[in-house]
């Protein structure tokens, strides 16, 4: 089922296939290497990493003209794009077999809340601080990092150094200070996930 949903996302958006695999890998490495992962069992880390694959499942509902637009979205188009968070949560809830899986609650939280920000300026609900589930916060920074260091239909890839600087400097929103510190510590290891790209 997860593979089917992942394939559907990849079919809709050209970069999503590699992107969802990277989000899984970054999330798992973060939880295994950061003190923030110490409170999770090996099984829970596997569940969260697998749930991370579902973070953009709601993009299935976004029109192609917006999802694959080359260039900046208009304010109206961005409002439509933002709905992939709530749409993702609703989609997962509507699949009976999904709700029976042990990682469903993680997948739901991640799909719905991975664009929330620590200072409350994210979406869809404007959650703030620890009101945002920790696993959604971790996938959030993984999602931003991969989007920066990877080429997209609307931009070229940024270097690892520039990408890290943008995240630390707050250009991509405000992140949990603990997550940000841990992310800076493990970021050099994340670069190995992109061995096929050149700086």
Task: State both tokens at 161.
Answer: 């150094």
Query: Is this model's pTM higher than 0.85 or not?
Result: yes
Phi–psi pair at 173, nearest 5 degrees: 100, 170
pLDDT value, residue 33: 94
Cα four-point dihedral sign 64, 69, 73, 78 = positive
pLDDT value, residue 114: 98
For the stretch 39-58, pLDDT in tens is: 999 999 999 999 999 999 99
Which domains are present in the chain? Answer: 2-194 (1.10.3210.10)
């Amino acid at each position: 089922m997860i593979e089917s949903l992942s394939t559907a996302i990849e079919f809709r958006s050209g970069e999503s296939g590699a992107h969802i695999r990277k989000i899984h890998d970054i999330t798992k490495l973060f939880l295994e290497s950061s003190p923030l992962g110490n409170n999770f069992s090996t099984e829970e880390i596997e569940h969260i990493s697998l749930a991370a694959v579902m973070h953009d499942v709601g993009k299935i509902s976004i029109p192609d003209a917006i999802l694959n637009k080359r260039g900046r979205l208009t304010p109206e188009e961005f409002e439509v794009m933002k709905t992939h968070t709530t749409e993702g949560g609703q989609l997962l809830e509507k699949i009976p077999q999904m709700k029976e899986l042990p990682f469903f609650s993680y997948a739901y939280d991640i799909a719905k809340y991975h664009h929330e920000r620590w200072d409350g300026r994210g979406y869809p609900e404007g959650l703030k601080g620890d009101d945002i589930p920790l696993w959604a916060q971790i996938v959030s920074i993984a999602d931003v990092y991969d989007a920066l260091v990877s080429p997209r239909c609307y931009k070229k890839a940024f270097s690892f150094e520039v990408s890290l600087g943008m995240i630390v400097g707050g250009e991509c929103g405000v992140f949990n200070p603990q997550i940000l510190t841990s992310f800076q510590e493990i970021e050099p290891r994340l670069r190995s996930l992109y061995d096929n790209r050149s700086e």
